[in-house]
């Protein structure tokens, strides 16, 4: 994505696609071609109308896995065109919609041109596939009943062709513009696109059947309403999802209000936890949970009185006991948040140690949930490599050496090894601490809080 300057190869590629699209549409413009212009105009206008508001709302939100659903919600119109019209005319219906729709990233003009050319080519190919299977007869006309299980065949062929051509062209532009190797560019595109296109194919077929039926084009519009609504819901979904991530951040920021020296710590622990988990080969959906566990691990500090958290001077045993309640407070707070799943256990147990000397429950080895062991290592690593008011930041190698020294007694050696190899691979930006920058009178906390893993501090309880 994000190409600001378009490479030469991509320019040539887009140029070829435009020429191809032009060649496809040309027969329709020749004098004497029997084209039902009213149908073409209606479908083209319909597609343009559908795409305009939908794209305005949708784009700017996450691309990612949502692409097939997000940008192609109105492909049924195009597939209906492929079933109803001759190939050259069908290619024309795709143009206004693709040219008018909003573009999310600059440069807009080549992106628009590319989208129009690719869609037109795909529709043209789909119309050819449908035509080869006699779609015109299968759809019926007026009072004639369509030939039904057979009509599924041209519709399926059209949808499949449309999907194949579009993904092939998309993979090509990714290879040309981003310089990806072709295999990587195509990888996964088709698998993600097949299911939505099947649905679009069915909706397109129904549109075409109703368009031709005695009830006329008006009834075909009804097919679009559910599609439009699901598109709208999808946009809402993205908006709410963004809000929900902001709410998670708010929980973290509420901690920051009380305990200023941890600023940025939560996010970094989340990041380091993901590094470890990815190294361990956890699947993608588990990574999200690990990240939440890392980000929220200290949320229970909200329950610790601010006076204790910001205390100047050594903590009394009583105060230390209060601070050590924070994993339980944290667990109590996030208990009600269903989607956090195993992250909740990680929050409760992130101060357990492998030899059973941690808290709150003094669990041993494998009794400690896996995510908690991940977060414990990430937490200790970030605590050592960032500057705190009571200690300077240590360089990464020193911190790693310290972690390795405590592996087995405090930390799970597997997690430590995973962190080490992840650091080799991705490197680490230690905290550029804003902790003290905007905090004129940093609370001189010289007692490391219990998260500090180093055995310098005497153990208060087992």
Partner 1 sequence: MRPGAATVGAVHGAALLLSLAGLGATLWYGVAEPGNALAFGSLVALGELARWGASPDEREPAPLAAAGALAYALLGTSGGTATTHGVLQIVAVVVAAGLAGIVPHIARGRGPGRDHLARRVLTVGFAALCFQPLYNSGALVEHLGQSPPYALFLLLLLVLTALCDAVLAALLLRARTGFPYGPLLRDELRALLGIGSAVCATGSVMALGVAAAGLWALPVLAVPLLLTQVSFRRYAAVRTVNRQTIASLARATEIAGCTPPGHARRVAALSAAVGRELGLSGAELTVLEHAALMHDIGQLSLVDPVAGGATALLPSGEQRRIALLGGEVVRRTGVPEAVALVVERQADPYREQPLPARIVRAVNAYDDLAGGDGPVAALDALERLRLATARDYHPDVVECLARVLARGGAAGVTSAPTG
Binding site for partner 1 (CB under 8 A): 69, 140, 143, 145-146, 148-149, 151-152, 198-199, 202-203, 205-206, 209-210, 213-219, 222-223, 225-227, 229-230, 233-234, 236-237, 240-251, 253-254, 257-258, 299-300, 302-307, 310, 329, 332-334, 336-339
Smallest gap, in angstroms, from Cβ of residue 71 to partner 1? 15
The 8-class DSSP code of residue 104 comes to S
Contact 409, 376 (CB under 8 A): no
The 8-class DSSP code of residue 85 comes to S
Smallest gap, in angstroms, from Cβ of residue 157 to partner 1? 15
Residue 11 vs 239, nearer CB to partner 1: 239
Smallest gap, in angstroms, from Cβ of residue 163 to partner 1? 16
Residue 308 vs 447, nearer CB to partner 1: 308
Please confirm whether the linkage preceding 412 is cis (ω < 30° from 0). Answer: no
Residue with tokens 């573009």: 103
Residue 133 vs 337, nearer CB to partner 1: 337
Distance from the Cα of residue 298 to its chain's centroid = 25
In degrees rounded to 5, what are phi and psi of residue 24?
A: -65, -40
Q: At what angle do helices 75-84 and 189-212 cross, to 10 degrees?
A: 60
Residue with tokens 């087992």: 462
Q: What is the DSSP annotation of 256-325? A: HHH-GGGTTHHHHHHHHHHHHHHHTT--HHHHHHHHHHHHHTTGGGGGS-HHHHT-SSPPPHHHHHHHTT
Q: Burial-class residue 136 by CB neighbours within 10 Å (0-12, 13-18, 19+).
A: middle
Smallest gap, in angstroms, from Cβ of residue 74 to partner 1? 12
In degrees rounded to 5, what are phi and psi of residue 315?
A: -85, 140
Residue 76 vs 450, nearer CB to partner 1: 76
CA angle 82, 87, 89 (to 5 degrees): 90
Smallest gap, in angstroms, from Cβ of residue 420 to partner 1? 34
3-state secondary structure of 142: strand
Smallest gap, in angstroms, from Cβ of residue 450 to partner 1? 18
Smallest gap, in angstroms, from Cβ of residue 133 to partner 1? 17
Residue 267 vs 332, nearer CB to partner 1: 332
Cα–Cα distance for residue pair 295/277, rounded to 1 Å: 14
Smallest gap, in angstroms, from Cβ of residue 205 to partner 1? 6
Contact 259, 388 (CB under 8 A): no
Sequence length of the chain is 462
Smallest gap, in angstroms, from Cβ of residue 271 to partner 1? 20
Contact 389, 261 (CB under 8 A): yes
Residue 238 vs 414, nearer CB to partner 1: 238
Cα–Cα distance for residue pair 418/405, rounded to 1 Å: 15
Smallest gap, in angstroms, from Cβ of residue 427 to partner 1? 30
Residue 245 vs 457, nearer CB to partner 1: 245
Cα–Cα distance for residue pair 339/342, rounded to 1 Å: 9
Residue 164 vs 210, nearer CB to partner 1: 210
- In this structure, the number of other CB atoms found within 10 A of the CB of residue 149 comes to 7
293 token code pair:
């566990």
In degrees rounded to 5, what are phi and psi of residue 387?
A: -75, 130
Residue 307 vs 459, nearer CB to partner 1: 307
> Taking the chain, what is the end-to-end CA distance rounded to the nearest angstrom?
53
Residue 67 vs 396, nearer CB to partner 1: 67
Smallest gap, in angstroms, from Cβ of residue 102 to partner 1? 21
Spatial CA neighbour of 375 closest among 324, 428, 299 = 299
Residue 151 vs 177, nearer CB to partner 1: 151
């Amino acid at each position: 994505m994000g190409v600001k300057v378009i490479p030469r190869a991509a320019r040539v590629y887009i140029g070829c696609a435009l020429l191809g699209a032009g060649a496809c549409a040309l027969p329709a413009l020749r004098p004497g071609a029997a084209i039902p212009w009213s149908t073409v105009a209606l479908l083209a206008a319909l597609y343009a109308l559908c795409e305009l508001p939908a794209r305005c709302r949708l784009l700017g939100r996450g691309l990612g896995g949502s692409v097939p659903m997000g940008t192609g919600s109105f492909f049924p119109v195009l597939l209906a065109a492929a079933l109803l019209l001759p190939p050259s005319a069908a290619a024309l219906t795709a143009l206004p919609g693709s040219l008018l729709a909003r573009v999310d990233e600059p440069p807009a003009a080549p992106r628009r041109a590319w989208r129009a050319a690719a869609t037109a080519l795909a529709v043209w190919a789909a119309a050819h596939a449908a035509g080869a299977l006699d779609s015109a007869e299968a759809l019926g006309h007026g009072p004639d009943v369509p030939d039904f299980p057979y009509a599924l065949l041209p519709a399926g062929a059209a949808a499949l062709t449309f999907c194949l051509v579009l993904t092939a062209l998309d993979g090509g532009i990714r290879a040309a513009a981003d310089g990806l190797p072709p295999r990587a560019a195509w990888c996964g595109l088709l698998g993600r696109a097949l299911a939505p296109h099947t649905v679009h194919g069915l909706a397109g077929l129904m549109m075409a059947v109703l368009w031709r039926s005695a009830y006329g084009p008006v009834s075909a519009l009804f097919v679009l309403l559910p599609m439009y609504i699901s598109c709208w819901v999808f946009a809402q979904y993205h908006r709410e999802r963004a809000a929900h991530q902001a709410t998670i951040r708010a929980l973290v920021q509420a901690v920051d209000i009380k305990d200023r020296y941890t600023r940025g710590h939560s996010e970094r622990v989340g990041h380091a936890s993901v590094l470890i988990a990815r190294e361990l080969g956890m699947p993608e959906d588990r990574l999200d949970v690990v990240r939440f566990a890392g980000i929220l691990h200290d949320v229970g500090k909200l329950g610790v009185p601010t006076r204790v958290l910001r205390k100047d001077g050594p903590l009394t045993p009583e105060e230390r006991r209060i601070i050590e309640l924070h994993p339980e407070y944290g667990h109590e707070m996030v208990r009600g948040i269903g989607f956090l799943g195993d992250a909740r256990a990680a929050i409760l147990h992130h101060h357990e140690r492998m030899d059973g000397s941690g808290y709150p429950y003094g669990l041993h080895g494998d009794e400690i949930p896996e995510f908690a062991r991940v977060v414990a290592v990430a937490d200790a690593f970030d605590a050592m490599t960032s500057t705190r008011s009571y200690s300077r930041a240590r360089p990464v190698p020193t911190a790693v050496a310290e972690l390795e020294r405590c592996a087995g007694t405090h930390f799970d050696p597997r997690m430590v090894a995973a962190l080490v190899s992840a650091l080799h691979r991705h490197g680490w930006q230690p905290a550029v601490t804003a902790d003290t920058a905007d905090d004129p009178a940093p609370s001189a906390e010289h007692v490391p809080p219990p998260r500090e893993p180093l055995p310098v501090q005497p153990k208060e309880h087992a």
